[in-house]
């Protein structure tokens, strides 16, 4: 019998200027997953704690992603052993920090390990995207890619799928405020415009290029100047109570930049150094109490490893 326990990280998608193409993995924030080989064939989810989510494989993001991998494995070798999955959900659904992606990524990564790594990280992204499709209606990779690769990732192309792992300055931290309200990804996508002006497009391209250049050169000033979103944030920010004041508090507290994490409602800031990150966390903790909404604040170093095996 084979078994694996793993930490599947939360992620921030878009990173302001990289809608649907940029993402980054977080330390400390993530789900715990246990996968065990069974005598009986098949793929089952036997328990989920921390969230009221379906155990039926075809209705669960981890289930669908894992099934996609196992079907591909069966095509390779003609059969596959049975497995069951237990999920300890630590990331709330609809939080904007990659809850569905953590489940999908963790499932395919763990299965791949138990099967002897027959698939590449890029192939794992493709399987995990099937789980994202179930969750949001769109098979996007900007959360599952950093979860599987670690650090920052760029989705250069979806057809064919092409993921680029980006470098990360060693002293880069993320602060995330999660208001306890739910914004469904499908709803957040439905309000977006389908056309851009040329001015918007060129501004966004410049910021995306600048951010990637800043990551490669450890240029925190360039990273800061590039964390600007002129496409999605002006629309989605209307769904988040107190967004403008919260973002201003983050910037006034020394954040390199701030924006919406994924489709929201979480709001993130990037910071240079642990001390600066904790100052930002303290400031927004005080600031957001006035809204009368329960919230959580996460302060985490960028996770450059991605999914991690846990010692039991």
- Examine the pLDDT at 145 and tell me if it is beyond 90: yes
Instruction: Specify whether 68 is located in the same domain as 133.
Output: yes
| pLDDT score of 78 | 85
- Rounded CA separation 35/85 (Å): 5
- Tell which of 166, 191, 214 closes a domain: 166
Instruction: Specify whether 8 is located in the same domain as 143.
Output: yes
- Examine the pLDDT at 169 and tell me if it is beyond 60: yes
What is the percent of the chain where pLDDT is above 90? 79
User: Using CB atoms within 10 A of its CB, is residue 105 exposed (0-12), middle (13-18) or buried (19+)?
Assistant: buried
Candidates 185, 233, 249, 304; catalytic one: 185
Instruction: Specify whether 24 is located in the same domain as 153.
Output: yes
| pLDDT score of 185 | 64
Residue 12 pLDDT grade (very low, low, confident, very high; cuts 50, 70, 90): very high
Active site residue 182: no
pTM: 0.92
Going edge to edge, which strands form the sheet with 257-260?
Answer: 257-260, 267-272, 172-179, 295-301
- Rounded CA separation 148/108 (Å): 9
- Examine the pLDDT at 164 and tell me if it is beyond 80: yes
Instruction: Specify whether 41 is located in the same domain as 154.
Output: yes
**CATH number for 246:** 3.30.70.890
Secondary structure (DSSP) of 111-157: HHHHTT--S-HHHHHHHHHHHHHHHHSS---TTHHHHHH-SEEEEEE
Instruction: Specify whether 116 is located in the same domain as 26.
Output: yes
Is the pLDDT higher at 18 or at 80?
Answer: 18
Residue 225 resides in a domain: yes
Instruction: Specify whether 51 is located in the same domain as 20.
Output: yes
Residue 109, SS3?
A: helix
Residue 189 pLDDT grade (very low, low, confident, very high; cuts 50, 70, 90): low
| pLDDT score of 307 | 97
Residue 280 resides in a domain: yes
| pLDDT score of 187 | 62
Residue 308 resides in a domain: no
Residue 194 pLDDT grade (very low, low, confident, very high; cuts 50, 70, 90): confident
The dihedral formed by the CA atoms of 55, 60, 62 and 63, expressed in degrees to the nearest 10:
70
- Examine the pLDDT at 312 and tell me if it is beyond 70: no
Average pLDDT estimate for 209-219: 98
Give whole-number Cα distances, 93 to 10, 101, 154, 179, 259, in Å: 11, 10, 24, 12, 19
Candidates 132, 153, 233, 249; catalytic one: 132
Digit-coded pLDDT (tens) for 231-271:
989 888 888 999 999 999 999 999 999 999 988 899 999 99
- Examine the pLDDT at 275 and tell me if it is beyond 70: yes
Place of tokens 């769904």: 239
Residue 306 resides in a domain: no
- Tell which of 143, 166, 189 closes a domain: 166
**CATH number for 95:** 3.30.230.10
Which of 37-41, 60-64, 78-82, 202-206 has the least mean pLDDT? 78-82
Instruction: Specify whether 252 is located in the same domain as 219.
Output: yes
Instruction: Specify whether 160 is located in the same domain as 179.
Output: no
| pLDDT score of 239 | 86
Instruction: For residue 15, give the DSSP letter.
Output: T
Instruction: For residue 264, give the DSSP letter.
Output: S
Instruction: Specify whether 75 is located in the same domain as 148.
Output: yes
Active site residue 132: yes
Residue 26, SS3?
A: strand
Residue 18 pLDDT grade (very low, low, confident, very high; cuts 50, 70, 90): very high
| pLDDT score of 263 | 83
* Total domains present in the chain: 2
- Tell which of 114, 144, 166 closes a domain: 166
- Examine the pLDDT at 151 and tell me if it is beyond 80: yes
Digit-coded pLDDT (tens) for 35-67:
999 988 899 999 999 999 999 999 999 999 999
**Residue 18 structural domain:** 3-166
Instruction: Specify whether 245 is located in the same domain as 150.
Output: no
Residue 178 resides in a domain: yes
| pLDDT score of 139 | 87
Instruction: Specify whether 48 is located in the same domain as 69.
Output: yes
- Examine the pLDDT at 190 and tell me if it is beyond 80: no
Instruction: Specify whether 16 is located in the same domain as 150.
Output: yes
């Amino acid at each position: 019998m084979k078994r694996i326990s793993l930490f599947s990280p939360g992620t921030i998608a878009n990173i302001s200027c990289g809608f649907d193409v940029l993402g980054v993995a977080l330390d400390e924030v993530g789900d715990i997953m246990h996968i065990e080989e069974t005598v009986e064939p098949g793929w089952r989810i036997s328990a989920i704690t921390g969230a009221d989510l379906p155990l039926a494989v075809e209705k669960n993001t981890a289930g669908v992603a894992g099934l996609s991998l196992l079907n591909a494995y069966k095509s390779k070798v003609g059969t596959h052993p049975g497995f069951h999955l237990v999920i300890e959900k630590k990331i709330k659904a609809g939080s904007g920090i990659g809850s569905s992606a953590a489940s999908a990524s963790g499932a395919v990564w763990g299965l791949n390990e138990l099967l002897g790594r027959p698939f590449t990280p890029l192939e794992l992204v493709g399987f995990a995207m099937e789980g994202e499709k179930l969750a949001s209606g769109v098979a996007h990779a900007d959360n599952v890619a950093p979860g599987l690769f670690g650090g920052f990732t760029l989705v250069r192309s979806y057809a064919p799928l092409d993921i680029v792992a980006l470098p990360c300055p060693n002293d880069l931290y993320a602060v995330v405020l999660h208001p306890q309200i739910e914004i469904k990804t499908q709803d957040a996508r439905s309000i977006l415009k389908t056309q851009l002006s040329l001015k918007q497009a060129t501004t966004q391209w410049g910021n995306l290029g600048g951010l990637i250049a800043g990551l490669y050169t450890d240029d925190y000033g360039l990273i800061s100047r590039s964390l600007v979103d002129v496409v999605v944030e002006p629309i989605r920010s209307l769904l988040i109570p107190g967004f403008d004041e919260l973002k201003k508090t983050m910037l006034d507290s020394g954040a390199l930049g701030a924006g919406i994490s994924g489709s929201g409602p979480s709001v993130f800031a990037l910071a240079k150094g642990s001390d600066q990150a904790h100052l930002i966390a303290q400031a927004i903790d005080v600031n957001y109490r006035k809204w009368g909404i329960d919230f959580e604040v996460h302060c985490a170093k960028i996770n450059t490893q991605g999914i991690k095996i846990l010692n039991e």
